[in-house]
């Protein structure tokens, strides 16, 4: 059975492109341009996964994601975002979104994320390493790496982190790469998922 994916983005070209890509990979894709349409479609038939743009008219992706977390609690949501929206995407992950992917979207990354989100929904045991394993990895970080990791988990850019600690962006990127390696994360979103499981949420 083909998995059903709902694409929510106000740009027609993005919806058409992603629908075509997902069809190539064997998904059944539906799409809409705004939150009210999305909620109507989901009420009629809950998809297996939602791909949701951060910036939309009427109700933005963050607000819609919060609504979906309350009305369709187990529905995986993958945020798609421009570079400037990473802090908002991290906020969405704190509220239950599965992943975020930066534009321009890499087809294989999107498909892999959708498959992983659906698998995790179907089988909770696929959520990844347990907290004890993550904590052991986290304890390998230096104090500065832990500070950088905390700011990464809050959605701060390398430039903002560099300004906070009065160091160069290159040094921040070096610390972040070290954090990725020690936490055994293969991508920034995966690292953030790990960190959100370990670090206390800030209001």
pTM summary value: 0.71
Domain boundary among 72, 97, 127: 127
Cβ–Cβ < 8 Å for 95, 65: yes
Is residue 203 in some structural domain? no
CA-CA distance, 21 to 12, in Å (whole number)? 14
Does residue 109 sit in the same domain as residue 32? yes
Positive/negative CA dihedral, 68, 73, 77, 79: positive
| Domain count for the chain | 2
Does residue 97 sit in the same domain as residue 166? no
Domain boundary among 127, 159, 176: 127
Reference 79, options 7, 157, 170; nearest CA is 7
Concatenating the DSSP letter of every residue in 134-185 gives HHHHHTTS-HHHHHHHHHHHTT--HHHHHHHHT--HHHHHHHHHHHHHHTT-
Is residue 183 in some structural domain? yes
Does residue 112 sit in the same domain as residue 137? no
Tokens of 113: 């994320």
Residue 152 φ/ψ, nearest 5 degrees: -60, -45
For each of the chain's 203 residues, which pLDDT tens digit applies?
A: 689 999 999 999 999 999 999 999 999 999 999 999 999 999 888 899 999 999 888 888 989 998 888 777 689 999 998 776 777 878 888 888 889 998 899 999 999 999 999 987 776 444 567 788 889 999 999 999 999 999 988 888 889 999 999 999 999 999 999 999 999 988 888 888 888 888 765 54
Does residue 104 sit in the same domain as residue 154? no
Tokens of 147: 């500070």
Domain that holds residue 139: 131-198
- The residues facing 52 across adjacent strands are 8, 79
């Amino acid at each position: 059975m083909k998995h059903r994916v709902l694409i929510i983005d106000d740009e027609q070209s993005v919806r058409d492109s992603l629908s075509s890509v997902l069809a190539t990979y064997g998904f059944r894709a539906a799409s809409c341009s705004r939150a009210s349409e999305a909620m109507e479609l989901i009420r009629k038939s809950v998809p297996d996964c939602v791909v949701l743009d951060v910036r939309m008219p009427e109700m933005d992706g963050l607000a819609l994601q919060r609504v979906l977390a309350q009305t369709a609690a187990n529905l995986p949501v993958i945020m798609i975002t421009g570079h400037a929206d990473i802090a908002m995407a991290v906020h969405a992950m704190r509220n239950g979104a599965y992943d975020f992917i930066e534009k321009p979207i890499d087809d294989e990354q999107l498909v892999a994320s959708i498959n992983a989100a659906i698998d995790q929904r179907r089988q909770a045991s696929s959520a990844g390493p347990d907290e004890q394993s993550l904590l052991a990895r986290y304890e390998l970080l230096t104090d500065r790496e832990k500070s950088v990791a905390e700011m990464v988990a809050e959605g701060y850019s390398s430039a903002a982190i560099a300004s906070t600690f009065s160091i160069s962006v290159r040094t921040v990127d070096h610390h972040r790469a070290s954090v990725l390696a020690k936490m055994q994360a293969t991508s920034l979103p995966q690292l953030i998922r790990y960190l959100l499981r370990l670090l206390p949420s800030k209001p």
